[in-house]
């Protein structure tokens, strides 16, 4: 594997960065602000260095995902919001779920527009169709980060010890990796080619690269309280929000 070069970027305008998404070279980030106060917002940046406010009025936004060329989805407490043209609109409410959502953690959008969201307190992963109908995809202990591969396989991690990585493909779920390296696994990202996963441990701060062919993991960096990561669309960098340090860490993965 190539030498890993690391650069930390601190942005004065960030307070509690939680999750980051790459929309084809433009970056969006959810910032929870002060927990429990309605100061959560979505930030935008052209370089993941200088951030500007894009949408406000949220409580404690966490997982964020690109829905299409003009819109984002973000989970906030027990609801999902659509962010479009600098405004946030309620997309799926707490009561739209098969059971009232409690603690939505992360969200991912598949190639065909299917939406997946994790609820850590309900121990559920939900699937949402284009008509916004919500159904329970599966039940599992403390699902946390989630991502979708180019081939539509769904990968997710659990906030457990040891941490675990699961794959859902063709309706079948399989445990593909488990290790204390990823205790209390918090987030997961995949490269654009579907070759490798990147998983963070909230406990240790380890960032682990998992080769999807060999199913072996390697610690490539350690940070403090990593948020929900993303791989840039060119596959060259991993961007890691630092929730308690108000910054974003940029890791070269090529």
Phi/psi for 61 (5° steps) reads -65, 140
In this structure, are residues 251 and 211 in contact, taking their beta carbons and an 8 Å threshold? no
Report the C-alpha gap between 242 and 41 in whole angstroms. 16
What band does 24 get if pLDDT is binned at 50, 70 and 90?
A: confident
What band does 162 get if pLDDT is binned at 50, 70 and 90?
A: very high
Q: Of the candidates 206, 189, 205, 207, which has an alpha carbon nearest to the alpha carbon of residue 197?
A: 189
Proportion of the chain above pLDDT 70, given as a percent = 95
What integer pLDDT is reported at residue 151 of this predicted model?
95
Report the C-alpha gap between 127 and 114 in whole angstroms. 7
In this structure, are residues 32 and 60 in contact, taking their beta carbons and an 8 Å threshold? yes
What integer pLDDT is reported at residue 229 of this predicted model?
98
Report the C-alpha gap between 139 and 134 in whole angstroms. 14
Q: Which residue has the tokens 């990968």?
A: 155
Q: Of the candidates 54, 60, 63, which has an alpha carbon nearest to the alpha carbon of residue 34?
A: 60
pTM, rounded to two decimals: 0.93
Give the pLDDT confidence of 43-98 residue by residue, as tens digits.
Answer: 999 999 999 999 999 999 999 999 999 999 999 999 999 999 999 999 999 999 99
Q: Which residues contact 223 (CB under 8 A, 6 or more apart)?
A: 200, 205, 207, 240, 242, 249
250 forms beta bridges with: 7, 239
What band does 42 get if pLDDT is binned at 50, 70 and 90?
A: very high
């Amino acid at each position: 594997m190539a030498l890993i070069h690391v650069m930390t970027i601190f942005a004065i305008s960030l307070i509690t960065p939680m999750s980051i998404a790459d929309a084809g070279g433009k970056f969006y980030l959810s910032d929870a602000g002060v927990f429990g106060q309605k100061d959560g917002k979505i930030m935008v940046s052209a370089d993941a260095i200088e951030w500007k406010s894009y949408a406000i009025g949220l409580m404690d936004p966490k997982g964020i995902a690109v829905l299409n060329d003009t819109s984002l989805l973000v989970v906030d407490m027990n609801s999902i919001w659509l962010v479009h043209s600098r405004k946030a609109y309620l997309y799926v409410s707490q009561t739209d779920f098969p059971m009232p959502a409690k603690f939505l953690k992360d969200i991912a959008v598949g190639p065909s527009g299917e939406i997946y969201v994790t609820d850590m307190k309900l121990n559920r992963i939900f699937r949402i169709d284009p008509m916004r109908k919500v159904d329970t995809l599966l039940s599992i202990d403390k699902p946390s980060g989630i991502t979708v591969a180019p081939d539509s396989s769904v990968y997710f991690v659990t906030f457990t010890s040891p941490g675990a990585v699961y794959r859902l493909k063709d309706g079948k779920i399989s445990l593909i990796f488990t290790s204390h390296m990823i205790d209390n696994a918090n987030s997961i990202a995949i490269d654009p080619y579907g070759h490798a996963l990147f998983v963070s441990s909230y406990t240790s701060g380890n960032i682990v690269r998992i080769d999807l062919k060999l199913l072996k993991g390697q610690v490539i960096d350690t940070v403090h309280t990593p948020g929900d990561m993303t791989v840039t669309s060119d596959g060259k960098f991993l961007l890691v929000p630092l929730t308690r340090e108000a910054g974003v860490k940029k890791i070269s993965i090529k």
